[in-house]
Amino acid sequence: MIIEPKMRGFICLTAHPKGCEQNVINQISYVQSKGTIEGPKKVLVIGASTGFGLASRITSAFSSGAATIGVFFEKPPQEGKPASPGWYNTVAFQQQAANAGIYAKSINGDAFSNEVKQKTIDLIKADLGKIDLIIYSLASPVRTNPATGITHRSVLKPIGNTYSNKTVDFHTGIVSNISIEPCTDEEINNTVAVMGGEDWEMWMDALTAADALEENATTIAYSYIGPSLTEAVYRKGTIGKAKDHLEATAFTITDKLKPINGKAYVSVNKALVTQASSAIPVIPLYISLLYKTMKEKGIHEGCIEQIQRLFQDRLFTGNAIPTDEQGRIRIDDWEMREDVQNDITALWPKASTETLGEIGDLNGYKSDFLNLFGFAVEGVDYAADVNENITIPQLQ
Ligand code: NAI
Ligand code: NA
Q: 31 near 63, Cβ under 8 Å? A: yes
Ligand that lies nearest to the alpha carbon of residue 58, given by its number in the listed order: 2
Q: In Å, how far are 141, 161, 333 from 306, measured between CA atoms?
A: 24, 34, 10
C-beta of 139 in contact with ligand 1 (< 6 A): yes
C-beta of 136 in contact with ligand 1 (< 6 A): no
Give the span between the Cα atoms of 391 and 232, in whole angstroms: 43
Amino acid at 4: E
* Predicted pLDDT of residue 94: 98
C-beta of 288 in contact with ligand 1 (< 6 A): no
| Spatial CA neighbour of 182 closest among 174, 191, 194, 169 | 191
ipTM of this complex: 0.98
Give the span between the Cα atoms of 131 and 354, in whole angstroms: 52
C-beta of 93 in contact with ligand 1 (< 6 A): no
Mark the ranges of the chain whose per-residue pLDDT is less than 50.
Answer: none
Is 47 labelled a binding residue? yes
* Predicted pLDDT of residue 8: 86
Is 384 labelled a binding residue? no
Give the span between the Cα atoms of 171 and 289, in whole angstroms: 16
Q: Where are the beta strands (DSSP E) in the chain?
A: 7-8, 11-12, 42-46, 67-72, 104-108, 131-136, 142-144, 151-153, 163-169, 174-180, 213-223, 263-268, 329-330
Q: 336 near 227, Cβ under 8 Å? A: yes
Is 50 labelled a binding residue? yes
Phi, psi of 196 (to 5 degrees): -80, -160
Q: How far from the centroid of its chain's Cα atoms is residue 117's Cα?
A: 20
Q: Whose CA is nearest to atom 17 of ligand 1?
A: 110
Ligand 1 atom index nearest CA of 239: 34
Which residues have a beta carbon within 5 Å of ligand 2, which is an ion? 47, 51-53, 137
Structural domains present in the chain: 7-372 (3.40.50.720)
User: Which H or E run includes 58?
Assistant: helix 51-64
Q: 290 near 335, Cβ under 8 Å? A: yes
Q: Whose CA is nearest to atom 34 of ligand 1?
A: 223
Ligand that lies nearest to the alpha carbon of residue 90, given by its number in the listed order: 1
* Predicted pLDDT of residue 9: 79
Q: In Å, how far are 13, 49, 83, 204, 382 from 389, measured between CA atoms?
A: 16, 18, 8, 35, 16
C-beta of 239 in contact with ligand 1 (< 6 A): no
* Predicted pLDDT of residue 275: 82
| CB atoms inside a 10 Å sphere around CB 169 | 14
Is 209 labelled a binding residue? no
Q: Three-state DSSP class for 263? A: strand
Question: Following DSSP, what letter does each residue of 266-296 receive, concatenated?
Answer: EEEPPP---HHHHTSTTHHHHHHHHHHHHHH
Q: Residue 385 burial (CB < 10 Å; 0-12/13-18/19+)? A: exposed
CA of 355 to the centre of ligand 2 (A): 33
Q: Three-state DSSP class for 324? A: coil
Q: 326 near 251, Cβ under 8 Å? A: no
The set of catalytic residues is 234
Is 274 labelled a binding residue? yes
Pocket test for ligand 1, best of 44, 74, 137 (most atoms within 8 A of CB): 137
Ligand that lies nearest to the alpha carbon of residue 272, given by its number in the listed order: 1
C-beta of 369 in contact with ligand 1 (< 6 A): no
The pTM score is 0.98
